[in-house]
């Protein structure tokens, strides 16, 4: 897993974090991950994303008290650098 995101769900009036709320993360390949915010209203997830620019959609469906909310997050994942090493092991003709 190459990317960690931290999500915080807040009440826009009081600015208090909302705990134990279901959050859905939609990845670039349309796979979804559903989890809940912790007691502090936060959710931390490790994701395995391909190199390049990735759009992730984060959705809270709402409940009796709170409206639904959606936000998009763009994540740039850099390719890992590589190094080639070569050596001559035999240079005899024939």
Q: How many other CB atoms are found less than 10 A from the CB of residue 23? A: 19
pLDDT (0 to 100) of residue 90: 84
> Which tens digit of pLDDT belongs to each residue from 41-81?
999 999 999 999 999 999 999 999 999 999 999 999 998 89
Residue ranges of domains in the chain, CATH in brackets: 3-77 (2.60.40)
Band of the pLDDT at 19, cuts 50, 70, 90? Answer: very high
Rounded to whole angstroms, the Cα distance separating 73 from 37 reads 18
How far the first Cα of the chain sits from its last, in Å, is 49
pLDDT (0 to 100) of residue 51: 92
Q: What is the pTM of this model?
A: 0.81
Rounded to whole angstroms, the Cα distance separating 51 from 11 reads 34
- Higher-pLDDT residue of 92 and 10 is 10
């Amino acid at each position: 897993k190459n990317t960690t995101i931290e999500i915080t769900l807040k009440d826009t009036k009081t600015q208090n974090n909302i705990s134990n709320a279901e959050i859905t993360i939609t990845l670039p390949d349309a796979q979804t991950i559903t989890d809940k915010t912790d007691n502090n209203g936060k959710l931390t997830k490790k994701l395995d994303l391909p190199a390049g620019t990735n759009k992730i959609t984060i959705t809270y469906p709402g409940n009796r008290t709170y409206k639904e909310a959606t936000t998009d997050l763009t994540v740039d994942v850099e390719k890992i650098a590589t190094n080639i090493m070569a050596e001559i092991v035999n240079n005899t003709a024939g």
